[in-house]
Structure 1
Amino acid sequence: MTTEHSGAFVQEAPIADVLRVGNTIYIAGQVAMLPNGDAHAPGDHIRQAEKIFEIMAELLAEEGASLQNVVKLTTYFSIPLNRQVSEEHWDVRRRAFGEHRPTSTGVQVAALFDDDYVIEIDGIAVIE
């Protein structure tokens, strides 16, 4: 079992960015946090999703996996979730995942831990 930590916030929190158990990789909820702890593109769910998928790809690569191994995503939106927001998010996912289509749930929440973040994504990946 391995755990990885990144960013000042996570370094101090009792949270693992990634936890691998056997051939299953659990990715904790990721936000578009820059290495200095600031938010990438505050308030912009499209650019934040792009950054989150980059972060997730890096975390998975450290475990010998890729976005193609993701089997489940849960996306938390702190902005009003409607058809337009969903379609914009799906466009970002298509660019990140290509033809791969993991199962998914999208949820609107009251808030995330900081108002600059409007989207958080967690996932599960399986490697063989």
Structure 2
Amino acid sequence: MEIVFSPDAPKPIGPYSQAVKVGNTVYVSGQIPVDPKSGEVVKGGIKEQTRVVLENLKAVLKAAGFELSDVVMSFVYLKDMNMFSEFNSVYAEYFKEKPPARVTVEVSRLPKDVLIEIAAIGSKG
């Protein structure tokens, strides 16, 4: 088991790792729309927040030697399912070909009261 850390993604705010790599698989903890430089939640709506979350996810994957194209499963937590269409339009920009399997659910509250959190599993081979 290898602990993965990227300085280009937000530091964990609790006792967990950004990601854990086991063999050819990486398990990425939920990423929220926090600017890794400022440590602050980004301003804007669901589109802006989704973009930052996916960029943070990319940074963690890269630190593990993976890319978005290696993601086989994603777990999406939305504050409000009425934002699904706007979220999905940004998500589709990042997963154009062979999108991963996905779970999307509405939740009552997320860390720092953000609008979205995404966790993922990536695999090579």
List structure 1 runs of 4+ shifted beyond 6 angstroms. none
Unmatched tracts of structure 2, length 5 or more: none
Which residue of 1 is the match for residue 116 of structure 2? 119
| Alpha-carbon distance between aligned partners in 1 of 2:58 and 2:98, rounded to the nearest angstrom | 14
Q: What residue number does 1:3 align with? A: 4
Per-residue deviation, 1:36: 2.1
Q: Aligned equivalents of 2:101 and 2:10: distance in 1?
A: 28
Contact 2:4 2:60 survives alignment (8 Å): no
Structure 2 match to 1:21: 22
Matches within 5 A, 1:1-128: 1-4=2-5, 6-7=9-10, 10=12, 13-34=14-35, 35-42=37-44, 44-78=45-79, 80-82=80-82, 85-115=83-113, 117-128=114-125
**In structure 2, distance between residues paired with 1:56 and 1:81:** 21
Residue 2 of structure 1 aligns to a residue whose secondary structure is: strand
What is the CA–CA distance in structure 1 between the aligned matches of 2:4 and 2:54, rounded to whole Å? Answer: 19
CA contact (8 A) 2:4 2:63 kept: no
Once residues 57 and 10 of structure 2 are traced to their aligned partners in structure 1, the CA distance between those partners, rounded to angstroms, is 14
CA distance in 1, matches of 2:117, 2:102: 13
Give the TM-score normalised by the residue count of structure 1. 0.86
* Corresponding pairs, count: 121
| Counterpart amino acid of residue 111 in structure 1 | R
- Output the CA distance in 2 between the equivalents of 1:101 and 1:27: 17
- Matched AA of 1:124: I
Structure 1, unaligned runs of 5 or more = none
Structure 1 residue 87: Cα displacement: 2.0
Indicate the percent of aligned positions where both proteins have the same amino acid: 26
What is the alpha-carbon distance in structure 2 between the residues aligned to residue 62 and residue 93 of structure 1?
Answer: 21
Contact 2:68 2:95 in 1 (8 A): yes
CA-atom RMSD, angstroms?
A: 1.6
